[in-house]
Chain A
Amino acid sequence: MNTAVDVSRFVRTEKIEALPPPKLARGPIAWVRENLFSSPINTALTLAVAYLLFVLIPPILDFLFFNAVWTGTDRAACRAETAGHPVGACWAFVVSKINFFTYGSYPAEERWRVNIFFVLLAIGVAWLLWLRAPRRDLGAVYFFWLFPIASYVLLTGGNVDIGLRAWLLFATIGVVFMAAIGFAAFMLKTSVRSAVLVAAGIVAVLGVTLALLDWDWGLEPVPTSRWGGILVTLLVATVGIVFSLPFGILLALGRRSKLPILRMASVIFIEFVRGVPLITVLIMANTMLPLFLPPDVTVDRLTRPLVGVAFFASAYMAEVVRGGLQAMPKGQYEGAMSLGLNYPQMMVLIILPQALRIVIPGIVNTFIGLFKDTSLVSVVGIFDLVKTIEASRIDPNWAAPTISYTGYAFAALFYFIFCWGMSRYSLGVERRLAAGHKR
């Protein structure tokens, strides 16, 4: 066998065929050896974890399934002395209270309206989240305009008494707004006609919205104080998620703006909201918001925490989005500018799609945090899912040792399903978007 040292010229004429790897480098045994028992420390850790699982898993399974009570009408089914066997989770309690957990005190004969709301929400979410869904532009119109109106009318009953005076005020403001936009277009020497048409479109959309809310649909009004349970949890989470992303993006852009006032305002808002716990924001929204508003304006008691949660989430979202913006190479801005794109076009078409993709994990992280934080609205007296469980577990009808655990296990399951779903979805999106165009 020659080595390169004593051969001055060498030409290989045939290709060396690929050989399979050695036997012990593949297969399940190799995997176990490599991943579980590769060193003494790893072996010890593997054994310790196996022992822990052995200790923990069987009791949990016993509690949740094998000793669980699935049927029953009151506490007798869930007390060991009356049931005659050890009792784990009392699912019968959840079954009997499920309506309260879902709707709160929403009147029983009107609950079909909430069900329609759930269906509409599911349609909207699926339409927007399924990346290959047909006509996602229509989906956006549906989700951000029709769906909120429909939900409002369905859940509250609609028939907001706007009154003639308010309509006149709206008409006046609309005309003034159109004139102002037209004048601005004239001053900036752009097309006055298209500017006025756009303004008229905005006024028309607002007018139609108000008219739909004003219309008497013949639905029984249901005050928000009777809403509760999963309905409120999903409502607060949806509003928070839907508002936080666009507001967060605007705040992030504001924070990176060259205009000092805009930048200062964004920084102050973000740092203030981030520096304060959500509970404080909620309590402030609940008690202080009415102080800032004129005395004859009352803000609904469910709206206050909604606004609080949306603001809170926006501040966090802004920082996540800013991270994405900062990760963008300067060349992308320059490429866009050199083609003559203006600032909004550059941001919407080039920078944000890429920046947001980079921070999908962060965005979903914020969403998940927000989803679970909605349980804090209970401190200002809103009956969300956790609060309905709190209220039910002290029901003397169901006084049994495992009722509280069962209730909280149900809440955990509910939150876990939604949060895990969000997490899986974001992983799927990342994988799909990463395919094909790596940098």
Chain B
Amino acid sequence: MATTSTIRQTSAAEIDPRAEPAIQLIDVHKWYGEFHVLRDINLNVRRGERIVICGPSGSGKSTMIRCINRLEEHQKGRIIVNGTELTNDLKRIDEVRRDVGMVFQHFNLFPHLTILENCTLAPIWVKKMSKKDAEEIAMKYLTRVKIPEQANKYPGQLSGGQQQRVAIARSLCMNPKIMLFDEPTSALDPEMVKEVLDTMVGLAEEGMTMLCVTHEMGFARQVADRVIFMDYGQIVEMNTPDEFFKNPQHERTRMFLSQILH
């Protein structure tokens, strides 16, 4: 990834037509009523790229990644995920959601289903897999996140860290090409953050395309190809982690970093 490290900011004009990017956001705007949450977002994510997004609360970072699988609707601009442009067409939304996995701050596991059922639900109903195949895949990923022995318990019986790992396994069962993480460690007790981060590092090392909203700067240093800093609904600064942390360009970024890096 060394050749890519010089790219600071991509805009619509610079898109290389030969290598189709995993995600393209072009001039994206979004409003909640009168409130302008996303302002002129331009972002190109290459396949296999790991991006960490940070910024103060209310800066629009969660909203941005939620737009990528249409949990939120953008009102202006274009979002193209894996070659499919997101519009009101339900078929396209389904297509995108099949390719994009998402991990939430509060896990959003289904409390009335066992861990195994949580993982097999979407493969069985969305991918029309047989129950046996789906369970095989689910066990494979549960083993990967190191909790195969919990398969028959319910989410409420697991610790926060375990639940978040189940949530990651649940997304992986759909064999996504892109993974979105929305503050995956913010709701966890400090002693459980590491087990979730380790899982995410493992994923990153396998070459998964990842967009990760997080304040775990150690994680950003370790795996990110680019770090994005957002404030007031816009991308303020985007750089390689080395440059980003050592040499932040924008005043606002410096202030933010000084507050979270002690």
Contact = CB atoms under 8 A, between A and B. Distances in A.
A and B bound?
yes
B71 A337 contact: yes
Interface residues of A, number: 22
B156 to A, nearest CB: 5
Interface stretch (A108-116, A229-237, A319-327, A345-353): A345-353
Interface stretch (B16-24, B38-46, B50-58, B102-110): B102-110
Interface of A: 331-332, 334-342, 345, 349-350, 353-354, 357, 433, 436-439
Contacts of B112: 353-354, 357, 433, 437
A341 B125 contact: yes
Interface residues of B, number: 29
A338 B97 contact: yes
Could you say which of B107, B110, B126, B174 has the most chain A C-beta atoms within 10 Å of its C-beta?
B110
B71 A338 contact: yes
B170 interface: yes
B249 interface: no
A438 to B, nearest CB: 5
Interface in B104-145: 104, 106-112, 121-122, 125-126
A439 B111 contact: yes
B121 A349 contact: yes
A354 B69 CA distance: 24
B89 to A, nearest CB: 12
The 9 A-B pairs at the shortest CB distance, nearest first, are namely A335-B108, A437-B154, A339-B122, A338-B102, A331-B108, A340-B97, A340-B126, A438-B156, A340-B98
Given A337-B71, A437-B155, A439-B111, 18 more contacts: A331-B106, A331-B108, A332-B108, A332-B110, A334-B71, A338-B71, A338-B100, A338-B171, A339-B174, A340-B122, A341-B121, A353-B112, A354-B110, A357-B112, A436-B153, A437-B111, A437-B156, A439-B156
A352 to B, nearest CB: 10
B241 interface: no
B11 interface: no
Given A339-B126, A349-B121, A334 B170 contact: no
Nearest to B153: A436
Q: Is the interface of A mostly helix, strand, loop or mixed?
A: helix
A436 B174 contact: no
B176 to A, nearest CB: 10
Contact of A331 (B90, B100, B104, B122): B104
Contacts, number: 71
Nearest to B98: A340
Nearest to A435: B154
B157 interface: yes
B94 interface: yes
A82 to B, nearest CB: 64
A439 B101 CA distance: 23
Given A331-B106, A357-B112, A437-B157, A341 B122 contact: yes
A341 B108 contact: no
Interface string B237-262: 00000000000000000000000000
Nearest to A437: B154
Interface string B156-169: 11000000000000
Could you say which of A340, A350, A354, A437 has the most chain B C-beta atoms within 10 Å of its C-beta?
A340
Contact of B104 (A335, A341, A342, A439): A335
